[in-house]
Amino acid sequence: MNDLWRLSATDLAALIRDRKVSAKEAASAGLARLDAVNPAINAVVEHRPEDVLAQADMVDTALARGDAVGPLAGVPVTVKVNIDYAGYATTNGVNIQRNVLPTSNSPVIDNLRKAGAVILGRTNCPAFSYRWFTTNLLYGDTKNPRDPGITPGGSSGGAASSVAAGIGHIAHGTDIAGSIRYPAYACGVHGLRPTLGRIAAYNAALPERIISGQITAMSGPLARTIADVRLGLEVMSQPDARDPWWVPAPLEGPRMPKRAAMCLRPDGLEISADVEAAVRDAGKRLERAGWIVEEVDNTPALREAAALQTQIWFGDGYQGMLDAAEREGDPGALACLRGIAPKLEGFENGGLSRALVRRSTFVRDWQLFLQDYAVVLMPVSGELPFPDNLDLKDQDSFERVWRAQTPQIGIPFMGLPALSVATGLVGGVPTGVQIVAGRYREDLCLLAGEAIEAGGTPVSPIDPVTV
């Protein structure tokens, strides 16, 4: 049973519910895998084996009584260090929050536990969750298990790295501008950023989020199979009254014709030949699965949406963010904030109000566009995953990184769901595509994602590549 960590969450949960495998066996296999590979990638930065085994014992005891244990019965999962987990510091990757010790759980943690999940460990993120790379002064660097020379993505780099390497079966991440989708892309797994209001968020140990965080930051699942992403969404999206933005929308919407718009260069995005090949290949996989795929020259606005998303994310309270980064002294966070500064010009003079007014137009335009298509198929990024810490090289490199991420940054401004689907490797470097659907239509993203997944080589956990 030592290779239980290789199974999907869906398959493992079924085995545990049928009492063919115990939750303790699954937890022990997960801990053994963590011990074997985490030193090479530093994806999980805090875990307590005795607590993990105690959680598993609770599941086994419930099963022995004949109690229902939930859809994630005994499945080991990981959670990011930026959400409240009682007794574990909500650090967000920074020393200045290492003493923020919550006494209650975030809604995501509560929903995972109610579903029977066993929380295996806490995953790394860049300082303040700002960057497309994952390193900080508190925990150090997280490496991409497929190639330590490329980024594992950020900010949920630890989440993607862990699940790619077989540490946990589903990983929790957060996404305000690509922080689930880009790590999934970089590590060759799948990741879903849900619709605004789909998954409840609340950290009682920290002040209320600024408005940009409230309306654009979302928790979501990363996994090695689309079925597990679907399962993670189902579990994480359960009701919680603590989040005023949570919406009781059904997980399955009305049927739509299987019609996809394929856009290679949304809003004039520059893309590499490998990125174009990945999107075209995904389009062919959809067609073979019975979808109608129409190539379109453009989508509704993404470039301006990305610019405004960047402004409301960093412009509302920029000086406070900079002051905190200076206290922390993290080079990556400081480089990010200083590099962003030119993009915030004029924001203080009514920029937040202007951006939110403009947002209504963009939401309307996208909703009208998505009346004609179930999904939009487009790049995750204009380039393959970047060399690690490329943004620290110089200002041109910083701009190159942010420019390539336009398809990710723009989507949260409208509150839309988007799924990053791993499609293969270019050499040893992962590639993939992004699927976007209308609000609360994650089911359409997942439907298309399943067809793309089925048309290629399934993602399997890997042993980390080391230099």
Catalytic annotation, residues: 80, 155, 179
3-class SS string, 355-385: HHHHHHHHHHHHHHHCCCCCEEEECCCCCCC
Q: How far apart are CA 355 and CA 368, in angstroms?
A: 20
Q: What angle do CA 37, 423, 184 make, to 5 degrees?
A: 50
Q: How far apart are CA 239 and CA 248, in angstroms?
A: 7
User: Cα-flanking dihedrals φ and ψ of residue 7, to 5°?
Assistant: -75, 160
Of 333, 335, 370, 360, give the one whose Cα is nearest residue 445: 370
User: Cα-flanking dihedrals φ and ψ of residue 168, to 5°?
Assistant: 85, 155
3-class DSSP state of 141: coil
Q: The tokens of 136 are what?
A: 């900080």
Q: How far apart are CA 257 and CA 126, in angstroms?
A: 41
Evaluate whether 432 touches 420 at the Cβ level (below 8 Å): yes
Q: The tokens of 186 are what?
A: 């970089």
Of 370, 377, 380, give the one whose Cα is nearest residue 455: 377
* Number of Cβ atoms within 10 Å of the Cβ of 103: 9
Question: Cα separations (Å) of 362 from 19, 196, 344?
Answer: 50, 15, 20
Q: How far apart are CA 61 and CA 51, in angstroms?
A: 15
